[in-house]
Amino acid sequence: MSIVTVENVHKRFGQNEVLKGVSLRVERGQVVALLGRSGSGKSTLLRCLNGLEVIDSGRIEVAGHEMSYEPARLRALREDVGIVFQSYNLFPHLSVAENIMLAPGLVKRVDKAANRRLAEQVLERIGLLDKIDEYPDSLSGGQQQRVAIARALAMEPRVMLFDEVTSALDPELTEEVLEVIEQLARDGMTMMLVTHEMNFARRVASTVVFMNEGTIWETGEPEAMFSNPKTSEFKAFTQRNVK
């Protein structure tokens, strides 16, 4: 059974139709890379999956939650669907531990001792346990992004969404963040990620989705798609972006 179902989803911003009848399914444990030019609808689709954008029509179901914008049902969905953005969005006045412990404490009412242990576990998982009591400003960009991932993992999501999480980082810091995501893939986490890292998508994704002009133009296994693009648009896209 699919853990993510998107059926004929349309989304407009004013007169601009950004998603034009998008449909896809993601199975448990899959890593799906969403590729395409800026403005193709990738990030909007990702935000729709977490209820951050309200769709105009169509159907979305994620981790057993039928998309609803009623507050209690939306909160329940977001407990199971983590999202990490390009900007880290860490609270500068809170330590790394406090940033991670905030949501489990407020949403799941995890007690302080158990919450601290949870923070230690997710930081160890991403290789930053030694930074647990430091503040975001003392961390590199790559470390801050890894803490943002740890914060999402602390909610024990069933699906993780990553929206261009490395686009603000230099190559060395990009690699350390991608290593964390690759480890999550090996651990069996279901993930959807918008990325311009073509080689990473080819290596780690189980499925590649190429979006263009608000629709899905191609989808399939990475090796087959990169080796034999079916559309001239995807061929041109890969030629520009694969190094």
Helix axis angle for 141-153 and 171-186, nearest 10°, is 20
State phi, psi for 234 to the nearest 5 degrees.
-70, -35
Task: Examine residue 21 and state whether it is found in any structural domain, yes or no.
Answer: yes
Tokens describing residue 56: 């105009």
Task: Examine residue 62 and state whether it is found in any structural domain, yes or no.
Answer: yes
Task: Examine residue 223 and state whether it is found in any structural domain, yes or no.
Answer: yes
Task: Examine residue 232 and state whether it is found in any structural domain, yes or no.
Answer: yes
Pairwise pLDDT comparison (241 vs 149), residue with the higher score: 149
The pLDDT value recorded for residue 65 is: 96
Q: Which of 141, 186, 180 has the alpha carbon at shortest distance from 162?
A: 180
- b/e per residue, 206-223, with b = 16+ CB within 10 A? bbbbbbbebebbbeeebe
Q: What is the dihedral of CA 240, 177, 33, 76, to 10 degrees?
A: -150
Domain count for the chain, please give it.
1
Give the count of alpha carbons within 13 A of 51, CB side only.
21
Tokens describing residue 81: 């669907």
pLDDT digits (tens, 9 = 90+) for 10-30: 999 999 999 999 999 999 999
* Mean per-residue pLDDT, 135-152: 93
* Mean per-residue pLDDT, 117-125: 95
Enumerate the β-bridge partners of residue 163: 194
59: domain range? Answer: 2-89+158-241
Confidence of residue 242 (pLDDT cuts 50, 70, 90): low
Question: For residues 32 and 162, what is the distance between their CA atoms, to the nearest angstrom?
Answer: 10
Enumerate the β-bridge partners of residue 38: none
40 CB-near residues (< 8 Å, 6+ apart): 211, 212, 213, 214
Q: Per-residue pLDDT for 86 more than 90?
A: no
What DSSP character marks residue 243? -
Question: For residues 168 and 87, what is the distance between their CA atoms, to the nearest angstrom?
Answer: 8
Task: Examine residue 117 and state whether it is found in any structural domain, yes or no.
Answer: no
Task: Examine residue 177 and state whether it is found in any structural domain, yes or no.
Answer: yes
pLDDT over 90, % of the chain: 84
CATH number of the domain residue 14 falls in: 3.40.50.300
pLDDT over 70, % of the chain: 99
Q: Which of 80, 84, 116 has the alpha carbon at shortest distance from 100?
A: 116
Q: Are strands 57-62 and 215-220 parallel, antiparallel or unpaired?
A: unpaired
Q: Per-residue pLDDT for 243 more than 60?
A: no
Task: Examine residue 147 and state whether it is found in any structural domain, yes or no.
Answer: no
Task: Examine residue 149 and state whether it is found in any structural domain, yes or no.
Answer: no
